[in-house]
Copies of this chain bind each other. A is one copy, B any other.
Amino acid sequence: MTTVAFIGLGNMGAPMAANLLKNGFGVRVFDLVPATVSTLAAQGAEPCSSAIVAAQDAAIVISMLPEGRHAKALYLGDEKGAGLITQIHRDSLLIDCSTIDADSARAIAAAADARGMAFVDAPVSGGTAGAIAATLTFICGGSESAVARAKPVLQAMGRNIFHAGPAGSGQIAKICNNMLLGVLMAGTCEALSLGIDNGLDPAVLSDIIKASSGGNWTLEKYNPCPGVMAGVPASNDYKGGFMVDLMVKDLGLATQAALSTRSAMPMGALARNLFVHHAKQGHGHEDFSSLFCQYRPKSN
């Protein structure tokens, strides 16, 4: 039985760790919030008093944290103490499933590499629903051998596992994808809204575009116009789904990557700013397809 240390038991981490238990892994858990540790312990996990305690006797460490600074503190240390990379067995496999900035991912990867440790960045897509159903997609960065070692444990939590390239590449690929998703959503909102303003039925227009060169994931799976598609946030008052605030975060990560490589990213930058304006108007906790409302006259 492989033992996995799981650090970070939030909305995503908790169901992911639970799926490891269901698949027969031994799981040692830690989170700054004690209640989340207790919940996992009740499901059979071993509660630990710190990340290092959790990691010391585990073959694999998985982390699921909010931002780059948290991941850097965990692996590289901070003013409160040393990081995992210098504290645990060299032959542990480190897997960071957080979505963080590429520079932080590369810094962690470089430090792990310097000590001869295998590190995989493996950000996910699929949301909390995918985390619960074990249908997540993992986009991995790391050496061929490290990603091969990571596969069995990732397969217990998800369905598709991509290998994007060397360490850090998982973050980059996810950032590129989500930046493009932000662009697709904003573009689709305005195409549908332009059609409505000019007398078209958004459902008919959606069908035409889906079958034409404007076809894209948001029209297939996530139509932003209320009433066009059943079971999506747009048809449920924009509740659930992927929050505007998280799209702002991901577009911010893409912007940071573009700054760091001096890349042009005009469409992604504009999408970020449209979502920030939307969040400032009080919509940060709604699903990101609610950007559609920015294009419609306010009814009141």
Tell me whether A276 is interfacial, beta carbon within 8 Å: yes
Contact between A125 and B258 (Cβ–Cβ < 8 Å)? Answer: no
Known: A213-B181, A254-B194, A256-B259. A295 touches B200 (CB 8 A): no
Q: Of residues 281 to 299 in A, which have CB atoms within 8 Å of B's CB atoms?
A: 281-282, 294-298
| Contact for A204 among B164, B208, B272, B276, CB less than 8 A | B164
Q: Which one of A191, A272, A280, A282 has the greatest number of beta carbons of chain B within 10 Å? A: A191
Contact between B273 and A264 (Cβ–Cβ < 8 Å)? Answer: yes
Tell me whether A113 is interfacial, beta carbon within 8 Å: no
Cβ contacts under 8 Å, A296 to chain B: 280
Cβ contacts under 8 Å, A173 to chain B: 195, 200, 204-205, 208-209
- Complex CA gap A146/B198 in Å reads 20
Q: Of residues 211 to 262 in A, which have CB atoms within 8 Å of B's CB atoms?
A: 211-218, 220-222, 248, 252, 254-259, 261-262
- Complex CA gap A125/B163 in Å reads 36
Known: A177-B209, A214-B217, A273-B269. A259 touches B264 (CB 8 A): no
Cβ contacts under 8 Å, A191 to chain B: 176-177, 179-180, 183, 268
Contact between B255 and A259 (Cβ–Cβ < 8 Å)? Answer: yes
Known: A177-B214, A200-B173. A280 touches B297 (CB 8 A): yes
| Contact for A208 among B139, B218, B300, CB less than 8 A | B139
Contact between B276 and A214 (Cβ–Cβ < 8 Å)? Answer: no
- The interface size bin for chain A is 35 or more
Contact between A248 and B262 (Cβ–Cβ < 8 Å)? Answer: yes
Tell me whether A150 is interfacial, beta carbon within 8 Å: no
Contact between A266 and B261 (Cβ–Cβ < 8 Å)? Answer: no
Tell me whether A143 is interfacial, beta carbon within 8 Å: no
- Complex CA gap A242/B135 in Å reads 39
Cβ contacts under 8 Å, A164 to chain B: 200, 204-205, 208
- Complex CA gap A129/B201 in Å reads 30
Contact between A172 and B193 (Cβ–Cβ < 8 Å)? Answer: no
Contact between B258 and A213 (Cβ–Cβ < 8 Å)? Answer: no
Contact between B268 and A208 (Cβ–Cβ < 8 Å)? Answer: no
Q: Of residues 165 to 217 in A, which have CB atoms within 8 Å of B's CB atoms?
A: 165-166, 168-169, 172-173, 175-181, 183-184, 186-188, 190-195, 197-201, 204-205, 207-209, 211-217
For A175, give the chain B residue with the smallest CB separation.
B194
- Complex CA gap A177/B188 in Å reads 9
Contact sample, A vs B, 16 pairs, CB 8 Å cutoff: A162-B208, A163-B204, A168-B198, A172-B199, A173-B205, A176-B191, A176-B205, A178-B213, A183-B184, A184-B184, A194-B263, A197-B263, A255-B259, A264-B276, A280-B294, A280-B298
Given A176-B191, A194-B257, A264-B273, 8 more pairs with CB closer than 8 A: A172-B200, A176-B194, A176-B214, A177-B208, A179-B214, A190-B263, A197-B262, A252-B262
